[in-house]
Structure 1
């Protein structure tokens, strides 16, 4: 039978990732492979001397969660995979994923074995993809609002002219005005159907949560909404300090945009809409507020039901499928959060999202617990 210890040692040395064995009892690295030099630019023989300098490069936002994990490992808790950053004085931060394994030998010594992978390229790719999706979603929502508004105006003008011109000299005028009404109405429906399909498609995909600074990832779509010249006063507020949560950035951004879209639909021109991101007690709180027409009291109990009876056309005739808010609530609950609403007719509406702050990293890929409408 081959020497398994020797085989594992050879395998570790051949790995492109840093493989290590740390003696928790002695507080020293007992083994590190040659990848340590390639990935972390150190000398394997000097790893214990170099360890304090490496720890000093830990990103300050990641230190609390790593300290918590380390305390759990030191007490014999079940190790969990964790991601963190090392600061680089002249380049971008390096991202790592640590996969640990805990073991206690017959003599009582406690060992932490693990693999350290440089995932910087993957994290930058994901950040760029999230940024692209956020911009795309915000652009689609803006175009939807603008195009729907234009077609609704054309439809209303055509209806007005058809009613005013009772007996046109050319009978084709009435036919053309009816055609213009129908085309405008169908165009508005097509635009909203496209946005709804985009939302449904995203909602039905696997949930992928990463630990992110909520203010940082929401700034881009909120900036786009601010620079757009809506007929409303739009403003947002983000926390001064980083506020971390485990988010599927694409889905969560769509929830925010859907709530802002609803506010636009039910707020008259020159009204006010705001988004506030702030810390709560162990949570991240996001408020979407407007001073629009509000939601009638009789409709509020069924607001979050699928195909709810509370669905209404917007002030400018924008259609509603009755799915938007139930999807928003479902996605927020996937994030272990809550979505609540307070409204009064004639005074406006406030939707409040509250999700847990991140005190560590969970499994990055989670399957939604329910399927949404096909």
Structure 2
């Protein structure tokens, strides 16, 4: 029977991923495979001397994050993978995914092992895909609002002419106006169904959660919305925090939630009114507020807003239709992120929808100093 220890050691030595074992009692790395020299241009025999310089290359936003998990991993078998960035002079930073392992031998010695995979290419692909989706979804929403408004206006004019204009006997004008009304109504319905289908499709895919700076990733669709609404003559502003605030989110799904809430705000806000988005830190959370100066929501409707096919649904100020699914999908996606969504509104004074999601883990200030010593 082959020696399993030799088999796994051979497997580790030929791996293109960095694999290591850290002895907590000795406070040093007792094993690192040959991939260390290829990935980090170091020397295996000098890994402990090189470790402080390597840790200094950690992205400043990732140091407390990794230290927090390192402290947790020392308490028992780890369950979390983490992704961190290493800085490179004059080059894009490198992304690494650390998969940890834990073992305690008969003498009570605790060994922390791990595999470091370079995920830079995958992360940049994902970032570009998220960027494309954010811009695409914001643009679709703006175009749908613009086109819907035009078709609704044509429909209303056709209805007015049918009521106000007396056509000559045997004239085809009433029939033509009827065609205009029907075509405009069907076009608005088709546009909204397209947008709703996009939202439903996004909501029905598996979560792809990444630790991201929420203000940075949501700035992209917010910029797009601001530009589009300015063209349409509507007032839209947003604020993001000066310092990064990190949360674990599915960027594509969360962008759809934000766009949906902004779209709803515009539906019930007169052309002269303002819609604003504020992203801000809260105690242990990231808070996102969508504020409008619209007509508000009747108190009797508010308990039913987040129900499926809610009886609180109503057409927008410009005749926009609703399926009664948008807000329940927003609520579902927010809850998938272990968050909470709420509304505060008064008739004639506008509405504020507030989302709170947990921040990504940060350093536990109650942890013993020695728990994070290796990451200093």
Q: Deviations over 1:201-250 (max 9, x none)?
A: 11111112111110011001000111122332100000000010110111
Q: Deviations over 1:288-334 (max 9, x none)?
A: 00001111122112111111111111111011111111111111111
- Whether contact under 8 Å (2:17, 2:118) holds in the other structure is yes
Name the structure 1 match of 2:118: 118
Aligned partner of residue 311 in structure 1, secondary structure: coil
Segments of 5+ residues of structure 1 without an aligned counterpart are 361-374
Aligned partner of residue 341 in structure 2, secondary structure: strand
- Whether contact under 8 Å (2:167, 2:173) holds in the other structure is no
Q: Deviations over 1:157-207 (max 9, x none)?
A: 111111121233661011101100110000000000111111111111111
- Partners of 1:308 and 1:112 lie apart in 2 by 52
**Aligned ranges for residues 96-111 of structure 1 at < 5 Å?**
96-111=96-111
Q: Deviations over 1:311-364 (max 9, x none)?
A: 11111101111111111111111111111001111110100001111106xxxx
The match for 1:247 among 246, 249, 259 is 249
- Whether contact under 8 Å (1:72, 1:79) holds in the other structure is no
Shift of 1:109: 1.9
Name the structure 2 match of 1:319: 321
Name the structure 1 match of 2:218: 218
- Partners of 1:192 and 1:75 lie apart in 2 by 52
Name the structure 2 match of 1:12: 12
**Aligned ranges for residues 280-295 of structure 1 at < 5 Å?**
280-295=282-297
| Corresponding residue pairs, total | 361
Q: Is 2:36 the partner of 1:43?
A: no
Name the structure 2 match of 1:368: none
Q: Is 2:161 the partner of 1:161?
A: yes
- Partners of 1:75 and 1:192 lie apart in 2 by 52
Aligned partner of residue 92 in structure 2, secondary structure: coil
- Whether contact under 8 Å (1:277, 1:285) holds in the other structure is yes
- Whether contact under 8 Å (1:168, 1:174) holds in the other structure is no
TM-score between the two structures when normalised by the length of structure 1: 0.94
Aligned partner of residue 21 in structure 2, secondary structure: strand
Name the structure 2 match of 1:202: 202
Name the structure 1 match of 2:262: 260
Aligned partner of residue 131 in structure 1, secondary structure: helix
- Partners of 2:250 and 2:96 lie apart in 1 by 19
- Partners of 2:78 and 2:164 lie apart in 1 by 77
Moved more, 166-175 or 261-270: 166-175
**Aligned ranges for residues 18-37 of structure 1 at < 5 Å?**
18-37=18-37
- Partners of 1:283 and 1:334 lie apart in 2 by 15
Shift of 1:3: 2.6
Q: Deviations over 1:120-146 (max 9, x none)?
A: 111111111111110111011001100
Name the structure 2 match of 1:369: none
**Aligned ranges for residues 268-307 of structure 1 at < 5 Å?**
268-307=270-309
Name the structure 2 match of 1:372: none
- Partners of 1:301 and 1:189 lie apart in 2 by 27
Segments of 5+ residues of structure 2 without an aligned counterpart are 363-376
Aligned partner of residue 206 in structure 1, secondary structure: coil
Coordinate RMSD, CA, aligned: 1.4
Q: Is 2:345 the partner of 1:349?
A: no
TM-score between the two structures when normalised by the length of structure 2: 0.93
Q: Deviations over 1:1-25 (max 9, x none)?
A: 3332222211111101011111111
- Partners of 1:9 and 1:77 lie apart in 2 by 21
